[in-house]
């Protein structure tokens, strides 16, 4: 009898472990007023000392529905405070899948807080054009830490780009690790 109960318990645990967790964290639907790939903040990756740039890329085809609008704020989640933090926006993508032209940069190091969402209102809204748009957060770590926030996944294409100064490459985070996440970085839209 004990063996039957043991196997019944084991079977129920196996069943629960195999449930589709995506139902608990569905892919966010495109929003009328936000550019984003992420769901609610879940955690953040542990990154070594170095300079990182976590970015989300919105291809020109994705932005078609937002033509004539502008980004007036950028929101992002920080778990731990990095040594420095800069918000950047790029237009275009190189043939090597890197951001092309920096069109905005603002050092927010002295004003960010953690663990929480941070919001930067842009003095001059950035118009949505016919080019790819990258929203990025540059983070400098003096040691190993979890600074940039992410959702529980699954990864959406272009939701997890990461530049790492230790190897000098822009790669999706899923190419660097087996983790499937999206950065908690969002662009707020205005008319």
**Under-70 pLDDT residues of the chain:** 1-31
Residue 191: the pLDDT is 81
How many helices (H) and strands (E) are present in the chain, helices listed first?
Answer: 3, 10
Residue 32: the pLDDT is 80
> Using one digit for the tens of pLDDT, what is the confidence trace for 142-166?
999 999 999 999 999 999 999 999 9
| CATH class of residue range 33-190 | mainly beta
**Token pair for 137:** 């957060």
Sequence-distant contacts of 94-97: CB under 8 A, at least 24 apart: 96/170, 97/170
**CA 130/CA 97 separation, integer angstroms:** 17
Q: In what order do the strands lie in the sheet with 161-164?
A: 99-107, 84-93, 133-141, 50-58, 161-164, 169-172
**CA 82/CA 74 separation, integer angstroms:** 18
**CA 81/CA 112 separation, integer angstroms:** 8
Do the beta carbons of residue 35 and residue 186 sit within 8 Å?
yes
Residue 31: the pLDDT is 62
In the chain, where are the structural domains located? 33-190
């Amino acid at each position: 009898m004990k063996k039957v109960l043991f196997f019944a318990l084991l079977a129920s645990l196996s069943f629960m472990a195999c449930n589709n967790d995506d139902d608990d964290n569905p892919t966010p639907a495109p929003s009328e007023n936000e550019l984003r790939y992420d769901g609610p903040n879940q955690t953040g990756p542990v990154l070594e000392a170095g300079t990182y740039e976590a970015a989300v890329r919105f291809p020109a085809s994705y932005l078609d529905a937002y033509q004539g609008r502008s980004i007036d704020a950028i929101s992002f989640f920080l778990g731990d405070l990095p040594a420095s933090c800069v918000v950047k926006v790029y237009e275009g993508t190189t043939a090597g899948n890197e951001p092309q032209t920096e069109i905005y940069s603002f050092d927010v190091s002295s004003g960010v807080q953690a663990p929480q969402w941070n919001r930067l209102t842009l003095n001059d809204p950035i118009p949505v054009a016919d080019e790819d748009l990258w929203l990025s957060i540059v983070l400098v770590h003096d040691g190993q830490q979890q600074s940039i926030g992410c959702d529980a996944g699954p990864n959406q294409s272009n939701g997890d780009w990461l530049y790492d100064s230790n190897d000098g490459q822009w790669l999706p985070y899923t190419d660097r690790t087996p983790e499937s996440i999206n950065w908690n970085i969002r662009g707020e839209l205005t008319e």
